[in-house]
Amino acid sequence: MAYVTFPADKPADFVAIGRLCIDLNANEINRPMEETVSFTKYVGGSPANICIGMSRFGMKCDFIGKVADDQMGRFITGYLQRNGIETSHLAVDKTGAVTGLAFTEIKSPTDCSILMYRDNVADLKLQPDEVSESAIAGAKLLLISGTALAQSPSREAVMQALNYAKKHGVVVAFDVDYRPYTWKSAEETAVYYNLAAEKCDIIIGTREEFDMMERFEANPEKDDRITAAKWFDYDAKIVIIKHGKEGSIAYTKDGSSHRARSFPAKVIKTFGAGDSYAAGFLYGLMKGWTIEKSMEFGSAAACIVISSHSCSDAMPTVAQVEDYIARSNRGEITAS
C-alpha cells in the first residue's frame, strides 16, 4: 500500500534545504578532543549528508542553501557538484559570514560528541527570497531539517519552502535533526518545530527529539503511538520514531505500525546514523517499496556510515547497501 504518492512529472527527484557545513572528524579515534591533533575535513550538515546519500543512490538531487564566500564555501559547492548535485540554487553570502565547523570527538564507539563552531554562519543567513520556487516545484520530494528553523532569516526561508511545496504538490519530509546549539530556548524550539511539522507528509525523529517537540503536551509514558497520532490530524502520512541501536518504528495514517530492527555493525562512531537512515528510507519510499523494506534499507545504510570515519563521504550506493543486508542475513557481520 502506498502511504505517500510522489508526483510523477517533475525534472528532479529530491531537493533539500538547510545546513551545509564542514565536519572535521578526529583521525585519532578513541581519544578525547584535548588529545586529538589531526582531523579530516568532510562536507557535513544533516540535510547535506542526506542529499549526498540520495545522489549516491542515483536520485536526481538539488540543494537550496547558503555558503560562505570563502575556501570552505567553495569546497562544499565543489563537493556537491562532484557528487552530481545541482548547485545553482545555492546562494553565496556577501556579509562576511563563515562556514559552520563541527569538530567530532570519538572517545569510543558509543561515546561521541560534536564540538560546534556556529557563530555568524552562512547557512542560517538564507533569505526567503533566495529560495527558488522553481527548484521546489521541479522536485518530487522536499527535505527540510530542523536546525534551519533555529534563527531568522533561515527560519522564514524554510517556511517559504514549505509554502512552495504545498502550492506545487511536492511531498515534504521533515528530519527533526535537533541540535541544541543555535537555539535560544526549549520553548522556542518546540514552537517552531511544531509549526513546521504541521505541514509535513513524513516526519522522522528520535524519541528524544519528539520529547522536545511535546514540551507543551501530555505524554508521560513517552508513548510512540501517542506521539505519532497527533500528526495525522495535520498533513502527516508517516511518522518514524528512531531508537538508535534498538531500531525504529513507523506509524502510518491508517493506524498501523511497522518496526525495523537494526543490523549488527562494527561501529566507529554513531553520528551520521540518522542521515543515512533518512536517505535510505526516503529512497525506498520513492522507489515504491513497502515501509518495512524502506526502513530495512535505511537501517543497513546507517550501519555502513557508522562503521566508517565520515558521514557524507561514507554514504553508500544501492549495491553496497544490498550487499550489507545480504552479508548480515548470512551471519557474516557481527557487532563490534
Ligand X SMILES: O=C(O)C[C@@H](O)[C@H](O)C(=O)CO
Ligand Y SMILES: Nc1ncnc2c1ncn2[C@@H]1O[C@H](COP(=O)(O)OP(=O)(O)OP(=O)(O)O)[C@@H](O)[C@H]1O
Binding positions for ligand X, rule: CB under 6 A: 19, 21, 23, 44-46, 49, 102, 114, 179, 271-272, 274-275, 311
Tell me the CA distances in angstroms from 74 to 69, 81, 99, 271, one per residue in order.
7, 10, 10, 24
Residue 124 backbone dihedrals phi, psi, to 5 degrees: -85, 0
Q: Which is nearer to ligand Y, 49 or 160 (CB)?
A: 49
Per partner kind, with CB cut-offs from 5 to 8 A, the member of ligand X, ligand Y, none near residue 49 is: ligand X
99, 132, 227, 262: residue in contact with ligand Y (rule CB under 6 A): 262
Minimal distance, residue 41 CB to ligand Y, in Å: 19
Q: Choose the binding region for ligand Y from 68-76, 133-141, 153-161, 300-308 (rule: CB under 6 A).
A: 300-308
- Name residues contacting ligand Y, limited to 204-233 (CB under 6 A): 206
14, 271, 283, 324: residue in contact with ligand Y (rule CB under 6 A): 271
Strand partners, 202: 173, 238
Q: Which three cell numbers stand for residue 114?
A: 560534536
99, 299, 308, 312: residue in contact with ligand Y (rule CB under 6 A): 299
The yes or no reply on residue 247 touching ligand Y (CB under 6 A) is yes
Tell me if 283 sits within 8 A of 60, measured CB to CB.
no
Per partner kind, with CB cut-offs from 5 to 8 A, the member of ligand X, ligand Y, none near residue 102 is: ligand X
**At CA 213, angle to CA 226 and CA 189, rounded to 5?**
170
Distance CA 165, CA 139 (A): 9
Tell me if 173 sits within 8 A of 200, measured CB to CB.
yes
Q: What is the DSSP letter of 256?
A: -
The yes or no reply on residue 125 touching ligand Y (CB under 6 A) is no
Q: Would you give the end-to-end CA distance of the chain in angstroms? A: 36
Distance CA 270, CA 250 (A): 21
Residues in contact with ligand Y by the rule CB under 6 A: 206, 242-245, 247-248, 262-263, 265, 267, 270-275, 277, 299, 302-303, 306
